[in-house]
Amino acid sequence: MIDDSHDIRTTQAAAASPQAGATALEAAPKAAPRPKPEVKAEPKNETKTETKTETKSEAKAETKSEAKPDAKIEAKPDTRPSSADASGTVAEQGPEIAAPDAGTDSHEKPGKAKGSRRTKSAGSGATKSAKVAEKAANAAIEARIGHRFADPSLLSTAFTHVSALKSSKKRGDSYQRLEFLGDHVLGLIVSDMLYRSFPSADEGELSKRLADLVRKESCADVAKSLGLLDDIKLGAVGAGAGARLRKSVLGDVCEAVIGAIFLDGGYTAASGFVERNWTERMHKPRRPLRDPKTVLQEWAQGKGLPTPVYREVERTGPHHDPQFRVAVDLPGLEPAEGVGGSKRAAEKVAASVMIEREGVSGGSNDG
């Protein structure tokens, strides 16, 4: 129920006094509307305030809630790369996570890197020094034999004994194949030299001369005169065994050198080497042209002595390259000894020693 007592009183007062009523009437309308805007305005203001406050607080809360997770997500890969990596971070973040590890390794490995560099540089320096030394040694050999190799590996192979090869390498990497080739090249060149130098000699005489000039002892003499003994590459053998082995294979190495020259420079180069080192020997043979065992036996029979007896004194060297020392005996004479790669070769050397010592005539032909 609405209380209108105040309006009634005002109307009555206006009727009693016109001036006072007018004043009261003027005051009444002005005072009346005040409660209305106050009642109506309060809810609106509160609503707006609450709306604004809620909107702002929600906006701030949402902004903070959105900003904080983003910041945390972005900060985690930078501050904790290990946890990010373990939780399966996306592939795009992989390089960013790996970057600190690379940096850490770069700080931890400089010493190792420097050490490896020093080791590599030392190894390369030693390799270069070895190559320089080998090149100088090859140049000295080339100067002595009178041929400069276009393929230095041929020269190196010609001086490599099978004992110097590693287990992984084949025997063909030693001088043996070159020796086989050089033996036949030498025979061809010397045959040509004999044919041109002795036009009146028959086939028998030429064959005897050829046999003497191409024998292992003749080749060993040539190699010794060129100073090739110490250039032979051997494996792990004792000093004494190495010296004996070098002497025994010296003729083989000489033939291998001829084969290497033939492969490197052809027939002309090989012929030049043989002519320089065999021409003098061809015109002045130093050993009997006939087999020394035959010469000694004929001489012994002429003296009324029995047939010479040959006996093995010693066998040395590895199984694949043995060395035999053989002595020859005749009654009333001191034994003579010879060394060779086979029993027959050693017997020939022993017979030659006895022939030279006893001054047997008719064993040589100066032709």
Instruction: Choose one of 283, 308, 330: the last residue of a domain.
Output: 283
Residue 63 located in a structural domain: no
How many domains are there within the chain?
3
**Nearest C-alpha neighbor of 76 from the set 66, 87, 67, 65:** 87
Mean pLDDT, rounded, of the chain: 73
| Whether residues 272 and 308 fall in one domain | no
Residue 236 located in a structural domain: yes
For the question of whether the overall pTM of this predicted structure is more than 0.85, the answer is: no
Q: What is d(CA 14, CA 59) in angstroms, rounded to the nearest whole number?
A: 58
| Whether residues 256 and 326 fall in one domain | no
Instruction: Choose one of 235, 266, 283: the last residue of a domain.
Output: 283
| Whether residues 279 and 325 fall in one domain | no
Partner residues linked to 316 by β-bridges: 323
| Whether residues 196 and 269 fall in one domain | yes
CATH of the domain at 276: 1.10.1520.10
Q: What is d(CA 155, CA 271) in angstroms, rounded to the nearest whole number?
A: 17
Complete edge-to-edge strand list for the sheet that includes strand 323-329 = 309-316, 323-329, 336-340
| Whether residues 270 and 170 fall in one domain | yes
**328: enclosing H helix or E strand:** strand 323-329
| Whether residues 208 and 333 fall in one domain | no
Residue 52 located in a structural domain: no
Amino acid found at 15: A
* pLDDT score of 82: 45
Residue 363 located in a structural domain: no
Q: Mean per-residue pLDDT for 102-129?
A: 59
Q: Considering the chain, what percentage of its residues have pLDDT values greater than 90?
A: 33
Residue 25 located in a structural domain: no
Q: What is d(CA 206, CA 16) in angstroms, rounded to the nearest whole number?
A: 183
**Nearest C-alpha neighbor of 213 from the set 258, 263, 160:** 258
Catalytic machinery residues:
183, 255
Q: What is d(CA 183, CA 342) in angstroms, rounded to the nearest whole number?
A: 18
Question: How many Cβ atoms are within 10 Å of 212's Cβ, its own excluded?
Answer: 21
Instruction: Choose one of 257, 283, 309: the last residue of a domain.
Output: 283
| Whether residues 263 and 172 fall in one domain | yes
Residue 20 located in a structural domain: no
| Whether residues 256 and 299 fall in one domain | no
Token pair in block for residue 204: 């028998």
Residue 158 near residue 254, CB atoms below 8 Å: no
| Whether residues 234 and 338 fall in one domain | no
pLDDT band at 180 (very low <50, low <70, confident <90, very high): very high
List the single range of 61-65, 295-299, 319-323 with lowest mean pLDDT.
Answer: 61-65
Domain span at residue 86 reads: 70-98
Residue 113 located in a structural domain: no
Cα–Cα distances (Å) from 195 to 202, 218, 281, 287, in that order, read 10, 19, 15, 20
Q: What is d(CA 205, CA 267) in angstroms, rounded to the nearest whole number?
A: 25
| Whether residues 217 and 240 fall in one domain | yes
Amino acid found at 363: G
Residue 322 near residue 316, CB atoms below 8 Å: yes
Q: What is d(CA 57, CA 65) in angstroms, rounded to the nearest whole number?
A: 12
* pLDDT score of 199: 92
Q: What is d(CA 30, CA 265) in angstroms, rounded to the nearest whole number?
A: 136
| Whether residues 277 and 296 fall in one domain | no
* pLDDT score of 322: 87
**Nearest C-alpha neighbor of 367 from the set 206, 251, 219, 134:** 206
Q: What is the dihedral of CA 113, 114, 116, 122, to 10 degrees?
A: 160
* pLDDT score of 121: 62
Each residue's pLDDT tens digit, 289-315: 578 898 899 999 988 999 999 999 999
